[in-house]
């Protein structure tokens, strides 16, 4: 399952919801969700504590639009929209945590 998170962890607990309820799979951070992947943020600690249960991705254009593309935490792969499409195709289902 691909879990899509589009809100900052400072705004809404949708990333928490994924980490607490989902067993495994991949998490794709888009829109304000990409803030979770910035070094030194509260989101980084949460993603690290998920202990490698999930493959982590963040949408590069959204990182760049927010000026945090050079502060992405280790373990997160930046993908473009084509990569977003590939992730959706690779996983049998996607869940947008709105």
Partner 1 sequence: MKFSVLINEGPYTHQASDSAYQFTKAALAKGHEIFRVFFYHDGVNNATRLTTPPQDDRNIVNRWSKLAEEHKLDLVVCVAAAQRRGIVDEGEAKRNGKDATNLAPGFRISGLGQLIEAGIQSDRTVVFGD
Binding residues vs partner 1 (CB under 8 A): 4, 6, 30-32, 61-62, 80-82, 84-86, 88-89, 93-94, 96, 98
Closest CA to 37 of 12, 2, 3, 62: 62
- Closer CB to partner 1, residue 75 or residue 83? 83
Q: Judged by CB, which is closer to partner 1: 28, or 72? A: 28
Distance between CA atoms of 2 and 97, rounded to whole angstroms? 10
Beta carbon of residue 43, minimum distance to partner 1 (angstroms, whole number)? 18
**Smallest distance, partner 1 to C-beta of residue 89, A:** 5
Residue 20 CB contacts under 8 Å (≥ 6 apart), including other chains: none
């Amino acid at each position: 399952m691909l879990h899509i998170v589009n809100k900052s962890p400072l705004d809404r607990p949708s990333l928490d919801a994924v980490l607490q309820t989902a067993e495994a799979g991949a998490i794709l951070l888009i829109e304000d969700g990409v803030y979770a992947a910035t070094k030194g943020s509260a989101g980084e600690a949460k993603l690290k504590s998920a202990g490698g249960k999930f493959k982590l991705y963040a949408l590069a254009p959204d990182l760049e639009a927010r000026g945090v593309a050079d502060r992405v935490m280790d373990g997160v792969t930046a993908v473009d929209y084509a990569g977003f499409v590939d992730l959706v195709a690779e996983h049998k289902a996607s869940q947008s945590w709105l």
